[in-house]
Amino acid sequence: MLKLFPLSLAFALLLGGSFAAHAKLQVPTFDDLPELQPEGIHQTACTRTANSFIRAHYKAINVDDAFADKVIKQFLTLIDYNKSLLTASEVDEIYQNRDRIQRAILLCDLSYPYEVYNEIIKKRFNKYSFFAQTIKDGNLDLEADDYLRFDRKDADYLPDEAALKDEWLKELKNDYILQLLSDKTPEEARERLERRYNAALSKLAQTRSEDVFSVFENSFATAIDPHTSYLSPDDSESFNDNLNLSLEGIGAVLTSEDEYTVINSILPGSPAEKTNKLKAKDKIVGVRQADGTYEDIIGWRLNEVVKKIKGPKGTKVTLDIERGEGSQMTTFSVDIIRDKVRLQDSEAKIEMEEHNGKKIAVLRIKSFYTNLHKDIRKEIERVTKEEGPIDALVIDLRNNGGGLLPEATLSSGLFIKQGPIVLVRDARGNVVPQFDTDPSVAYSGPLVVLINRLSASSSEIMTAALRDYGRALVVGDTSFGKGTVQQSKPLARVYDFNEEQLGSIHYTIAKFYRINGGSTQLKGVSPDIFLPTLVDDEEFGEHNEANALPWDKISPVPYEGYLNIDAYVPELKRLSDIRSKDNRVFQIMANDMKRYYDLKHREVISVNLEKREAQREEDDAYRLATTNERLELMGEKPIKKLKDLPEDFEFDDAILDETVAIAADFADAQKQKLYSADTTPVLTRYQFNRDTLSEGSGTASPPGAAAMPARPNVLSDGWTAAQVLGERENWLEANTIKDKTATKSKRNIDVNSLTTGEVRFLSAEALEAATNSSGALTTPDGRLYKTMTETGEVNNMAVDGTLLGPWRTINEDDTFLRQSDTSFSKLVKESTERSTTVHLQDSLYPSILPHRAAFAVEQPRAKGTIVLVSD
């Protein structure tokens, strides 16, 4: 079964276990630091990792100088994230040794990575010794007008040791100020920091050979793509815990960044989720047990942090959290009662909402777990039985990071009759469509999908499929952009006789694509209607990941569309914009994000205590004012201090409220049979006759594709070509249209002799003659198409020349081709042999509800314009 793994290497804290108070800390000396060397087992692990990545990874890997430089960059990021240990000359020297990095990858000669890491241990020891001694001496000047560049990942490396020490002093001042701003006394702040730095020194002395090997192998892995990784034996065990949601813990998924333990995500239904306080990107800096034992965990290995946070069901653990960067950094504590991660707490559920008398069902899907599709069907049946027919359904996929690929396919299939859902392409270029083969439909009414930047992987598959079929309108924010599939593989073999355990690897084996041929990788899925968000686009999303695989496209597959969603969007957006303009919560959210980005984009932060206190007071005042305004909008009483707000308080979900309103509008729009002249026409489903040959063509359909459409005299069911004659006349009423039969009998119509204001139906010959002179064909929704008059056939093309239908012929170079019957038959034969051409029914070529009249459109048509009208 294909598994869409979480967004990065991470471990779920689920296991039960015991804990003990930390022994009295012994601060090591410089002589206590280890001189690490590769162990025998690492040769085997290195060889098998390299072979798997090079032979089986989706991305072709050439370990040349350019790739070695990528590995070095990732290596430096892992060992010196904030560029506070190595000087510029030392970094240059590492790059000059790229040949030794290549040997480490290909020949598993690991001597150089270990040499560099041993030096990093010494440099980090010097840094923490400086911190510990300086804070103990108490000689910090917090009145000087100094500034710290808090995020140095894009900065240059510093020139020398003196510059590094100057940076260290500023970092120390910032740590001290953060403690003071979290209501610690100066003495408490110094004691807390001294313990932290001494603990980090102690952990340095305990560094193991496996730690170095893991860092280098992950530098190699993430130089390929961000979702490829190596896991040590201990980390593999922790990762496997994530696959069993019946075990005990807090349900937080963690990863390591620099010397910090960072929350990657919160598992649905977990104790961590139920606190409503933890978020992705939060840093855990300390852990307190129920007996009062406290440990500062900065600099700890991830598996050691896991052991401290996990514990028996029903016991309490307190996490000290740092959130944000620079002047926006806040610190707080969270109490969590360890418990089982209950699957039923994350099951898909429907709640009913109401808007303007319409019943809107909201289906919340937190993850794509086993049998999700069954739960969705049950929920829809339950709600229909209890509430009667609903007017629209909203699928809420916000913060849904994905899950099982088969569940994405099966769940999407509940809303279409049957057909392809997603295309999976492997490293060899083989494309395998994932099909919904069940013709039954759980719900066929108006459908809206709500996404945000944290909707990823399987969420994007479902959203894209429903949108491409014209089945659902998409609202919210652009999704994450993870369009890759990973495989987990243990490095151990059945014939191994090693007493020592080997780890495992995760690597990308495939990419998935939308049925229209486009990828969700990197770009994600864009909504039809954007709504405000509080998610940082610069922090979350595949486009922010180093070495992410690029966006691309492949040939689409045939599928039958439902609605032309594009035709609905302008009016639905107009109505939403009217509401949003007066939505005070949206205004507050927009101000919050503007303020957030303004502060974030300041490259430096003051390490002057007075200025930081003033900044905190300003921030607190702003947050208190906006909090009270939102409380007032909800009819709640104001608070005097931020800490007076109950921990479990939840504000109204303004994004969901607006989505419900959009869904109600969408339901209204689909019930109308015709828009008035000043609105965009509503277009309905159109499909070709799959079982017939093309009339007048003699060319059979390619296997599995719809039949070719007829000649222009029967362009589609219910459509006939016509011409507007008049100086910018609007469409005419039905009774002014000339008799269809009489008009068609005119074989050679003189378009210049017709009376001004008339609309005439054209035969194939007349159409050919007219298009030779006017060269334009327009559909009622206003899209311009060009004609190819060489053969008298009509080719639907966008304004930029892209062929949209009736057939798409996609060549190797992604060009769109349409030829005469003879040329077209030859092209089909050649393309089939090369397996590079796909013929796709154009679902964007719709028909309006049958009506014996010309229909109203926004723009008046100039004299001579060719149009399509209903018969």
Mind telling me the catalytic residues? 457, 468, 482
Per the structure block, which two tokens stand in for 276? 């409503």
Q: How far apart are CA 20 and CA 293, in angstroms?
A: 9
Give the Cα separation of 91 and 82 in Å (integer): 13
- The torsion angles phi and psi of 186, rounded to 5 degrees, stand at -55, -40
- Gap between the Cα atoms of 377 and 443, Å rounded: 9
Q: Tell me how far apart the alpha carbons of residues 774 and 785 are, in angstroms, rounded to a whole number.
A: 12
Strands (E), 300-408: 316-323, 330-337, 339-340, 349-355, 358-364, 392-396
- Rounded Cα distance, 327 and 324, in Å: 8
CB 415 within 8 A of CB 481: no
Tokens of 660: 């419900």
Full DSSP string of 575-586:
HHHHHHHT-HHH
**Cα atoms in the 13 Å half-sphere on the side-chain side of 109:** 8
And the tokens for 727? 């100086």
Measure the CA–CA gap between 96 and 99, rounded to whole angstroms.
8
**Pairing label, strands 294-296, 316-323:** unpaired
Which helix or strand (DSSP H or E) is residue 294 part of?
strand 294-296
Contact of 725 with 762, CB cutoff 8 Å: no
Q: What one-character-per-residue DSSP string does 136-181 give?
A: HHT----SS--EEES--TTSPPPSSHHHHHHHHHHHHHHHHHHHHH
Q: Is the bond leading into 271 cis (omega within 30 degrees of zero)?
A: no
Q: Is 257 helix (H, G, I), strand (E, B) or coil?
A: strand
Cα 315 from chain centroid (whole Å): 35
Q: Where are the alpha helices (DSSP H) in 501-583?
A: 565-581
Place of tokens 């507050």: 588
How close are the terminal C-alpha atoms of the chain, in Å? 50
Peptide bond into 703 cis (omega under 30): no
For tokens 């917090």, the residue is 142
- Report which of 442, 483, 440 is spatially closest to residue 464, judged by C-alpha positions: 483
DSSP bridge partners of 815: none
CA 298 and chain centroid, separation: 29
